[in-house]
Amino acid sequence: MLTPVHILMVEDNNDFVYLVRESFEGDKDQWQIEVAQSLSEATQKLEKEMYDLILLDLSLPDSKGFDTFSGIKKTAPKTAIVVLTGLNDENIALQTLKEGAQDYIIKGNLNNQALKRTALFAIERQSIVEKWEKAWEEKKTLAMHDPLTGLPNRLLLKDRLHQSLSLAKRQGQIVAALFIDLDRFKEINDTMGHEVGDQFLKEVAQRLQTSVRQEDTIARLGGDEFIVLLYGPKTQTDIQHVATRILGKIEEPYRLYDRRYRLTASIGIALFPDSAQDSKELLRNADFAMYLAKNEGGNRYTFFSESETDFSLSHPHLKLLQKTHV
């Protein structure tokens, strides 16, 4: 037995409610109609129950015109809506179509079979819209996340950086960028293969997620490079604690294929606005500080300092740092 279509009719004219019920009378098992006579009553019902379709009169005792549609759409954004309107309100009905209504019916032209077809087509169109929106969201998610680790990728990092730095400017906060590079990871890929290397990268990503707050951003730039963005740390000590925790998590033994392995990382830290004025400079300086940490043996963190750049200006690695990170 098919589940009946659950309809909420929002209409204060009892005579018209009767006509609509009569239109569905021959197929009682297929249609289940409830009535609300005001916007407030409809809102209460929609907050408690799920409906397949809303038949909506725009002129109610407590709401008129497009405001009625807006109130219903806000409460039930994913439910199909068919607007019931008089000839004088047809322009408003057309406006509701642009904002998400699936169809409209002019009350004076009510036809039993046409009403049923309109109801079914509206539900089907709403279903198609939802599937399209879901597919679009999934596509956006894939475009902005690293397929291996599920972390934000360079594109999403760019957006998060822009938001964080803009907010930090307004609120007078600090943003810390931690540039993380795994030590001697190339040796793992060369000796054990990329499949094993990928397992390490996924495990590192999970460990990074347990090392920072939920509101902090973790991104994978590519290869064995990761970025952690900390918004609003109060002191340098707060940042040091996070960096130390990350190094400790990464250094914990890894068990793959019944063997234990050990990894370490080098972390470079740059601060906005202390040592960088924009996102590119922030990542470039964090990358430079990471190079210094790696040059000192790895498994440590280093803060960027302008004085550290003087003796290194001729080093070939600096040419590499001129690349655009974001």
- 278 labelled catalytic: no
Q: Which of 52, 181, 224, 287 is catalytic?
A: 224
Could you tell me which residues come within 8 angstroms of residue 4 by beta carbon, excluding any fewer than 6 positions away? 29, 30, 31, 32
Cβ distance 326 to 158 under 8 Å?
yes
Residue 222 region, left (φ>0) first, then alpha (ψ -120 to 50), else beta? left
As given in the structure block, the two tokens for residue 200 are 């390490």
As given in the structure block, the two tokens for residue 314 are 């001729």
Amino acid identity for residue 100 in this structure: G
DSSP class of residue 107 equals G
- Judged by DSSP in three states, 229 sits in strand
| Residue 245 φ/ψ, nearest 5 degrees | -65, -40
As given in the structure block, the two tokens for residue 136 are 């679009």
| Residue 276 φ/ψ, nearest 5 degrees | -160, 150
Tell me the C-alpha distance between 291 and 112, whole Å: 75
Tell me the C-alpha distance between 169 and 188, whole Å: 41
Positive or negative, the CA dihedral 317, 318, 322, 326 is positive
Positive or negative, the CA dihedral 229, 234, 240, 245 is negative
Cβ distance 247 to 301 under 8 Å?
yes
| Residue 145 φ/ψ, nearest 5 degrees | -130, 145
As given in the structure block, the two tokens for residue 104 are 């409209």
Positive or negative, the CA dihedral 231, 237, 243, 248 is negative
- Judged by DSSP in three states, 69 sits in helix
The residues assigned a catalytic role are 224
